[in-house]
Amino acid sequence: MYARVSFILLLLVLVLSSCQEKKADFFERDAREFTQTHCPQMMDDVTRVDSIVFVKKEDRMGDLLLYYSLFMDDASRKILMDNLGELADMNLKDLRNSVALVKYKEEGVEFTYIYRDAETGEKIVEYHFTKKDYQ
């Protein structure tokens, strides 16, 4: 009887740990497939989503990296640079309200939004949100 209980507990531990790995693999594949089928894609007149990448982590589920390019003239760039806090707030609000990202948020995935200048490739700004931020 004791051996049977021990075996069942061992099996349960293996199943649960493999489920965790499977979720990370699913997130990685999901991001890759989204990028292959939908990127690059214009979100509005100045913002293009270039790719989405899921990076597995040893100490937690992982990070979802969202790469964007911005098409701006000098005046638009100055306005953006003066309002980077509002862009962070908008990203966090969208993340909190996103139905498409629920499965990621339930697993405590962290999200990083990376914005680059479309012409130069220069990084403009990067925002990183943890579970504590978006709950």
pLDDT tens profile 12-30:
333 344 455 589 999 999 9
Sign of CA dihedral 42, 44, 50, 52: negative
pLDDT per position as a tens digit, 67-83: 999 999 999 999 999 99
Pairing relationship of beta strands 47-56 and 62-70 according to DSSP bridges: antiparallel
Q: Which domain holds residue 20?
A: 2-134
* Residue 22 CA neighbour count, 13 Å, CB half: 6
Which amino acid is present at 115?
Y
Of 117, 103, 110, 100, nearest in space to 46 by CA = 117
Look at the chain and report how many structural domains it folds into: 1
Predicted pLDDT of residue 39: 96
Give this prediction's pTM.
0.81
CB pairs under 8 A, 24+ apart, for 95-98? 95/129, 95/134, 96/134
CATH of the domain at 91: 3.30.300.250
